[in-house]
Amino acid sequence: MIDAQTSIEDVLPLELINVSMKGTSREEVLEEFADMFEKAGCLSDRAQFLKDAWWREGEGPTGIGGEIAIPHSKSTGVSKTSLAVGRIPEAVEWPSLDDGPCRAFVMFAVRSDDQNQEVHLLSKVAVALCHKEVVDTLLTSDDPEAIRCALSGEESNE
């Protein structure tokens, strides 16, 4: 279970950072994230996770602007709360606050019993993404460790 002391590094293993995703649509990107979470042992029910992710997508835009989206799913299909980061070479249409497409993603897979902490993790990521150097790292770096460090606040606090 996650709590207020949980860091980004605690829930974002390097194996869940893929800067070479293949998706060419929102559907393909979400499927690819489900594959990543499943391979990492974070899901108990892939279909339920995707159903809940699509439900959340229907509630309002998860694109925050600047080609970045933070899709998330709070689901009984998640066995271990985790984050994944992905990037695709060409931006895809994605409901976004700036009405623009997205090509970099921070995907949340949150256990149902961690639901009160979902806001905590979203807040940490949102604060990190307020820093230009973090956004630049997410959009350009091919180094998973650099991406994880940037999101965890190590670079933004220098």
Distance CA 74, CA 81 (A): 9
What amino acid is encoded at 50 in this protein?
L
Asked whether the predicted pLDDT for residue 42 surpasses 90, the reply is yes
- Model confidence over 50-91: pLDDT tens digits? 999 999 999 999 999 999 999 998 999 999 999 999 999 999
Mean pLDDT of the chain: 91
What amino acid is encoded at 1 in this protein?
M
Q: pTM of the full predicted structure?
A: 0.91
- Model confidence over 98-127: pLDDT tens digits? 999 999 999 999 999 876 667 788 888 989
Asked whether the predicted pLDDT for residue 157 surpasses 50, the reply is no
Asked whether the predicted pLDDT for residue 156 surpasses 80, the reply is no
- Give the CA dihedral 124, 80, 32, 9, nearest 10 degrees: 40
Contact 86, 36 (CB under 8 A): yes
